[in-house]
Structure 1
Amino acid sequence: MTSGPSQRAGAPGATLPELSRTPRWRRRLPWSPGRIVGAYALVASLWIGLSDRVVEAVVGDHARTALQTAKGIGFVLVTSALLYALIHRREHGLRLRGAEIRATIESMADAVLVVDTRAQIVEVNKAAAELLRVGARTELLLPLQEWGRRFQLRYLDGSPVPYERFATVRALSGERVPAYDGIVRAADGRDVFLSVTAAPVLVSGGRTELAVAVLRDVSAARRLDELRDEFLSTAAHEFKTPLAVIKAYAQLLQKREPAEAQALVVIQRQVDRLNRLVQHLLDTTRLRLDVRDERLHRFDLGALADEVVGRMRGSAPAHDITVSSVPAPVRADRERLARVITSLVDNAIRFSPRGGPVAARVEARDGAAVFSVEDRGLGIAPERQARIFERYYRAHAGTPQDYGGLGLGLDMSREIVARHGGRMWFESTPGHGSTFHFSVPLADEGAP
């Protein structure tokens, strides 16, 4: 394998002979076509010659034996030429295809790592060397586990990615690997935020021969998100003081001007609404900026659901809100999971404008505590369901059922659940309602 960038496919001035230099994992034949055909011709000729000499010694017909030997050698020469042409054509096609693949990989702006079944990195492109700030690509041709230790592959919360959860390891085992975000530490000490994907390379019979990982640098986008969240947090905080002043003066005027009481009550109600939106915005931005702020305690998720739903019943008299639960001990941030439950139940109430049942339940299954809330309300149109967890997305925006909001509740809830090692999902049918679920791992026995 070559180490210099000028000798790689896709580098300026690369020639076809350079592209044909393939690493061990790409070689299809141990010998060149000429060597294979030469060996075939030699073995076949020796066999024909020796066998004919044996026949001559036994039978004694020298002239006939010599003629048979000549015919046999002629046959070998003709078949050798045909064999050489076929092998050479196949080998040329393989080399040309390999050159095309390498040129494609080399031209990619994203870093590419190729890993074999021994979990050894066998090929990288120029973008990978630039991303990880190494001088030569050969520095990256390491066992995958050693690569992970050297570049400190971590999740966004800073915890190390276990080796068995590496995208390429999962791809080699045949698992479907969705994209995920992570962090690596480049050779110069700089942290790089990545979006990681991986896929297996399958050969005949469905056997996995290689895994290809693509690492995309999302550091700039991540920093932009952080700047936006910092701005929103600052702006939301600055809104709180004037809103408090407006409400205080509205209450004062209500006492002094009873005739204007109704208008002043409307002002106070709208100020309260703005305060809720501002607080929601503050909670969301703080969650994203304070990635290590979880306060973990052991508690029963079923008891927490009973408590939260009990507080919300009084504000929704038109709805029959029920909750059923079983003991489901978890080790989590109680305040933040309460926020998730509140958000999901509030959505169920808000998008069931005609009232009706809202059923919450907590179950323990497959090592996880599962919270679900079901309503019989509007439901979500199929074409809008794919974006339901996007930040600032509102599924009913622009429809008569648009009840406002910032579109942050589900995004924040999924982020909280994900940080607890869980997941969130839903089912919905337009006109028949929705059911939202989230799960978090059950606490280990004896965990504090």
Structure 2
Amino acid sequence: MNRKSFYPARRHHGRSSSSRSIVTKRSRSPHAFPIASLVEEVQDAVCFIDFTRNHLYSNEQLRTICPSMETRRFQNIDGMSRFFHETFEQNGADINDVTLFWDELMTNRFGCCPSMDAKSLRIGERTMQVILNFTHTPRGVFIMWRDITDSIRFEEQKDAFLAELSHEFRSPLTAINGYAELLMYQHSDNDKTHGMLTLVKREAERLERLVDNFLDYQRVNYSEELLSMSTFALRPVLEDVVAHYKATSPQHDVILSADDVTIEADEEKLLQLLHNLIGNAIKYSPDGGTVYVEMTIEGDTYVLSVRDTGIGIPSDAIPYVFDEYYRVDSDAHRPIKGTGLGLRICKRIAEAHGWGIHADSVYGEGTTFSIYLYSHSTTSTTLLTEQETTD
């Protein structure tokens, strides 16, 4: 007997021809699940685009939001593209945003592992969050539409409230600082009174930084749009900050070594970042020591770093120091109070500017925080100069 024909015969032993035809038919079915029924069963507004058959499936929830988004089939992908553009434009969407969204969708649709981040599209008075999940069999994408108009409006109202609250907090703190400075000048010959006024001014400045940190932390969407960008020389800013800590932390030496760089940034936010880092360096050097504020160059990137000789951070805690409310749990750190927000704010300010921030430490020897000012944010440099500020 021929072995080549023997094994197929044994494989189908006991099966009728009709059962074999059913198996063959099922194996060739292009869809393993009823897409239309699946889409209709979803509770959220959702649609599915079948790129293979140029078919759009939608459910009742989506049609309630946008009646034009009915289940239909198109002759080709160009027809589907025109339909989406016309539908969104008729419903008040920004056609440029729609074009960018659709172009990215078309670019990703045939990738080996297609994926897209969630998008926000303004459609008339509504803001819709669009969440995408690509499929391979059939080749297509599920699109979930979530109305986030109320949450966006709430965040806008909260930001306006925080801006007003920030003004209300800063006004009395500015007055306290101003009068404290005036009284310090008038009582410069009385060491005891001058010392008490210095403490008042230092604590008022500390309260101002805590208020800034708290209010900034409440901003969920802290991004470049919220920055007040300007172009300024970096070195004078660093000199002022160093001079501040020379006056308020006499037990620490502060050494500045920096390029004369012109930088584009939000000066107030940069000051907040620097005060957080230098304030931390001093706070976590309770026995005094040296704090280095340095500017170096790595390739075409300027690196602004704050380095101390304090208690350091255990290696297993380094990955978490920028997390919200995180406090290092060690015998040396427990007596030192803090909110766990300062470094988180530093990271958010750096990222909003497009900078990188990195922590490096040797426990018991000191810590270095480095800010990578990528080349687009600096416009000119001169030769490296060095200034030492000691107490």
Instruction: Give TM-score, length-normalised by structure 2.
Output: 0.59
Does residue 185 (structure 1) correspond to residue 122 (structure 2)? The answer is yes
Please give the secondary structure, in 2, of the residue aligned with 1:363. Answer: strand
Structure 2 contact 254–291 (Cα < 8 Å) conserved: yes
Structure 1 contact 172–200 (Cα < 8 Å) conserved: no
Residue in 1 that maps onto 2:276: 343
Does residue 87 (structure 1) correspond to residue 24 (structure 2)? The answer is yes
Structure 2 contact 255–290 (Cα < 8 Å) conserved: no
1:238-292 deviations in whole A, cap 9, x for unaligned?
Answer: 345555677759998x97xx99957776555544433443355566779979975
Measured at CA, do residues 233 and 300 of structure 1 come closer, stay the same or move farther in structure 2, by a change above 3 Å? closer
Structure with higher Rg: it is 1
Please give the secondary structure, in 1, of the residue aligned with 2:121. Answer: strand
Does residue 363 (structure 1) correspond to residue 305 (structure 2)? The answer is no
Measured at CA, do residues 220 and 89 of structure 1 come closer, stay the same or move farther in structure 2, by a change above 3 Å? same
Residue in 2 that maps onto 1:234: 164
**Pick aligned residue for 1:403 from 315, 331, 337:** 337
Structure 2 contact 222–352 (Cα < 8 Å) conserved: no
Residue in 2 that maps onto 1:98: 33
Structure 2 contact 39–57 (Cα < 8 Å) conserved: no
Structure 1 contact 168–213 (Cα < 8 Å) conserved: no
Residue in 1 that maps onto 2:210: 277
Measured at CA, do residues 232 and 441 of structure 1 come closer, stay the same or move farther in structure 2, by a change above 3 Å? same
Distance 2:108 2:360 in 1: 28
Structure 1 contact 167–198 (Cα < 8 Å) conserved: no
Gaps of 5+ in 2: 1-11, 75-79, 381-391
Residue in 2 that maps onto 1:225: 155
Larger helix fraction of residues:
1
Residue in 2 that maps onto 1:152: 94
Distance 1:445 1:243 in 2: 33
Does residue 143 (structure 1) correspond to residue 81 (structure 2)? The answer is yes
Q: How far does residue 415 in structure 1 lie from its aligned partner after superposition?
A: 4.2
Query: What code does the residue aligned with 1:220 have?
Result: D
Structure 2 contact 293–304 (Cα < 8 Å) conserved: no
Match runs of 1:27-426 below 5 Å: 80-90=17-27, 95=31, 97-99=32-34, 103=38, 106-109=41-44, 111=46, 114=49, 116=51, 122-123=56-57, 126-129=60-63, 133-138=65-70, 142-143=80-81, 147=85, 150=89, 151-152=93-94, 166=104, 169=107, 173=111, 179=117, 183-186=120-123, 189-192=124-127, 194=129, 198=132, 200-201=134-135, 209-212=139-142, 214=144, 216-240=146-170, 261=193, 269-281=202-214, 292=225, 294-298=227-231, 303=235, 307=239, 310-311=242-243, 314=246, 315-316=248-249, 331-354=264-287, 355-356=289-290, 358=292, 360-363=294-297, 365=299, 370-375=303-308, 377-379=311-313, 385=319, 388-390=322-324, 393-396=325-328, 400-405=334-339, 407=341, 409-424=342-357, 426=359
Measured at CA, do residues 105 and 358 of structure 1 come closer, stay the same or move farther in structure 2, by a change above 3 Å? farther
Higher deviation after alignment, 284-293 or 421-430? 284-293
Q: How far does residue 185 in structure 1 lie from its aligned partner after superposition?
A: 1.6
Distance 1:444 1:246 in 2: 35
Query: What code does the residue aligned with 2:24 have?
Result: I
Distance 1:410 1:266 in 2: 25
Paired residue total = 348
Structure 1 contact 233–281 (Cα < 8 Å) conserved: no
Higher deviation after alignment, 165-174 or 212-221? 165-174
Distance 1:311 1:144 in 2: 62
Instruction: Give TM-score, length-normalised by structure 1.
Output: 0.53
Structure 1 contact 197–213 (Cα < 8 Å) conserved: yes
Gaps of 5+ in 1: 1-74
Measured at CA, do residues 359 and 216 of structure 1 come closer, stay the same or move farther in structure 2, by a change above 3 Å? farther
Higher relative contact order (CA 8 A, sep 6+): 2
Measured at CA, do residues 88 and 202 of structure 1 come closer, stay the same or move farther in structure 2, by a change above 3 Å? closer
1:53-89 deviations in whole A, cap 9, x for unaligned?
Answer: xxxxxxxxxxxxxxxxxxxxxx9xx885343121244
Q: How far does residue 308 in structure 1 lie from its aligned partner after superposition?
A: 6.2
Distance 1:300 1:112 in 2: 52
State the identity as a percent: 20
Q: How far does residue 184 in structure 1 lie from its aligned partner after superposition?
A: 1.4
Query: What code does the residue aligned with 2:81 have?
Result: P
Structure 2 contact 313–362 (Cα < 8 Å) conserved: yes
Structure 1 contact 369–439 (Cα < 8 Å) conserved: yes
Query: What code does the residue aligned with 1:84 have?
Result: S
Q: How far does residue 98 in structure 1 lie from its aligned partner after superposition?
A: 1.9
